[in-house]
Amino acid sequence: GAGVSQSPRYKVTKRGQDVALRCDPISGHVSLYWYRQALGQGPEFLTYFNYEAQQDKSGLPNDRFSAERPEGSISTLTIQRTEQRDSAMYRCASSLAGEGYNEQFFGPGTRLTVL
Amino acid sequence: GQNIDQPTEMTATEGAIVQINCTYQTSGFNGLFWYQQHAGEAPTFLSYNVLDGLEEKGRFSSFLSRSKGYSYLLLKELQMKDSASYLCAVIDSNYQLIWGAGTKLIIKP
């Protein structure tokens, strides 16, 4: 596709439910990043992949959060047993390569609301 | 710890010039980005600096001083559409992108 796409764009769920957020990066981009962004703040790093390998997951808040990119393209961020504090905008970005000059292209985000 | 500092908010007048500063303390340095983010939208790339000096791109310029841990984004001939948040981000020694909280720029007629 022309840009990074994410789905769903909006997700409302009840506390305790699991959610899966999808990211489809720009074709050919090696690196894929997941961020969480609160209103009025910069992106907060969660995790990133080079191809299918998860390079760094130090930003994941706790073990309810996990991510995968099994074929080195589409990625899924899964939040288990959601809590109200998980409500946020979740953004995905991709770049040609993970090192050096690596302009990141962002997707439109998924707005998650946990009731 | 790693830290990126930017002013929270700035106000400027249409047609004028504004300079948005960014200071950083990070474990290593492999480049600095400026991104623009309109309300409710995704951040979009503006500039990248890795060497000291000024990079000019149309109405926007970005400056870097690595010895001072300092950068600024200069916007000239301000237009109403320039009202947005401007995010400074630094690539650290692990090639992680460390983001500032952003500067909300308000343009008044």
DSSP state of B10: E
Taking CA atoms, what residue in B is nearest to A49? B96
Q: Is residue A20's pLDDT more than 60?
A: yes
- Interface residues of A toward B, Cβ cutoff 8 Å, are 33, 40-45, 56, 91, 98-109
Q: Is residue B1's pLDDT more than 80?
A: no
Q: Which of A106, A110, A111 to mutate to test the interface with B (most CBs of B within 10 A)?
A: A106
pLDDT at A100: 57
Q: Do A105 and B45 touch (CB under 8 A)?
A: yes
Taking CA atoms, what residue in A is nearest to B6? A42
pLDDT at A98: 62
Q: pLDDT band at residue A99, thresholds of 50, 70 and 90?
A: low
pLDDT at A2: 79
CA–CA separation, A24 and A29 (whole Å): 10
Q: Which tokens belong to B101?
A: 């909280």
> Cis bond leading into B109, ω under 30°?
no
Q: Do A108 and B41 touch (CB under 8 A)?
A: yes
Min distance A87 CA to chain B CA atoms (Å): 15
Q: Is residue A7's pLDDT more than 80?
A: yes
pLDDT at B95: 79
Q: Which tokens belong to A54?
A: 């998860």
pLDDT at A109: 97
Q: Is A56 or A5 the better-scoring residue by pLDDT? A: A5
pLDDT at A50: 92
Please give the mean pLDDT across all residues of chain B. 95
Q: Do B99 and A103 touch (CB under 8 A)?
A: no
Contact of A106 with A5, CB cutoff 8 Å: no
Q: pLDDT band at residue B64, thresholds of 50, 70 and 90?
A: very high
pLDDT at A101: 65
pLDDT at A87: 96
Place of tokens 């007629």: B109
Average pLDDT over residues B10-36: 96
Q: Is residue A1's pLDDT more than 60?
A: no
Q: Do B96 and A45 touch (CB under 8 A)?
A: yes
Q: Which residues of A touch B89 (CB under 8 A)?
A: 42
Instruction: Map chain A to HEC letters.
Output: CCCCEEECCEEEECCCCCEEEEEECCCCCCEEEEEEECCCCCCEEEEEEECCEEEECCCCCCCCEEEECCCCCCEEEEECCCCHHHCEEEEEEEECCCCCCCCCEECCCEEEEEC
